[in-house]
Amino acid sequence: MIEYKIKTKYLLLILYGLIIAGFYACKRDPVKYFQREGRNILLSESEFKTQLDILQHQFKSRDSTTEVIPVFLDSLRGDTDLIIRYNFRARLPDGEELFLNAPKEGFFEFLGKKLPDFELPTLEGDLRKISDFYDKPLVLNFWFRACAPCKMEMPRLNEIRDKYQDRVNFVAICRDDMDELKGFFEYHDFDYLQLVKAEEVSEKLGIKSYPKNIVVKKGGEISQILDALLNTIDEDGNIYPGEGQELIREIEKIL
């Protein structure tokens, strides 16, 4: 009888301990995960901070007047974790804010469809229709001069252009006008054919994030819509441009 009581006592103590442990586990702060708007990948808090550091470093190293800010949209709390949905914005010197690589844009409605025709001036002032370039596969890059990720990927885009220029047309669509771009190309090489004053065209197409790389089949059908070339960052905070393998794969598919 005494042995039975002792066993019962120990079992009650263990049960009590489990209840207390469960209570404090519920009281602990949940594990935070970060999910970029429209994407299924969950990042840890450290991975999210690394992603933010990369963007902020890109902008500060190229243009100290443009600020990158995280935008927290909503959250979903479970028993032990908290999923925070977010995106990034670039705040330009004039106060305008643009989403960076925002996945939910009106332009994605054109995927698999013909790119709507539009007309823009070159740096020399000559008007060109985008349909003029449908005789070959076409790669478009949407950018603006204050966009640090745009400038960072330009050297690699130039290399991709050099490799495929005989078989593919490469055209850059810039929001800025000719006057705003004066002096830019003295310090930055971007070998795509430049079409400028594209702010209105970009808004009509539903493009809200930059840079944007668009792969178009011969004849004008949009094959793929890509964001910036992926970059990497080392332990010292140095950022290295990506190789653009995703863009290269998409080009190879339509040749």
Q: Among residues 73, 97, 121, which one ends one of the domains?
A: 97
What is the β-pairing status of strands 169-174 and 193-195? parallel
Whether residue 24 lies inside any domain: the answer is: no
Residue 16 has pLDDT above 70, yes or no: no
Cα separation of 111 and 80, whole Å? 38
Indicate whether 73 and 167 sit together in one domain: no
Average pLDDT over residues 8-21: 58
Average pLDDT over residues 39-50: 75
Strands of 97-217, DSSP E: 97-99, 119-121, 127-129, 138-143, 169-174, 193-195, 212-216
Question: What is the domain extent for residue 167?
Answer: 105-254
Q: Among residues 77, 97, 117, which one ends one of the domains?
A: 97
Indicate whether 226 and 247 sit together in one domain: yes
Q: Which residue did the predictor score with more confidence, 229 or 160? A: 160
Query: Residue 36 is encoded by which pair of tokens?
Result: 């970029």
Confidence tier at 14 by pLDDT (50, 70, 90): low
The pTM for the full model equals 0.62
Indicate whether 227 and 118 sit together in one domain: yes
Radius of gyration of the chain (CA): 25
Indicate whether 129 and 242 sit together in one domain: yes
Indicate whether 155 and 226 sit together in one domain: yes
Cα separation of 253 and 225, whole Å? 14
Indicate whether 163 and 227 sit together in one domain: yes
The length of the chain is 255
Average pLDDT over the chain, rounded to an integer:
81
CA distances from 250 to 163, 164, 187, 208 (A): 14, 12, 30, 22
Confidence tier at 61 by pLDDT (50, 70, 90): low
pLDDT at site 193:
97
Indicate whether 52 and 143 sit together in one domain: no
pLDDT at site 4:
47
pLDDT at site 241:
61
Residue 143 has pLDDT above 90, yes or no: yes
Indicate whether 207 and 234 sit together in one domain: yes
Show Cβ contacts of residue 26 under 8 Å, excluding neighbours closer than 6 positions.
Answer: 79
Average pLDDT over residues 234-241: 57
Residue 189 has pLDDT above 90, yes or no: yes
CB 34 within 8 A of CB 84: yes
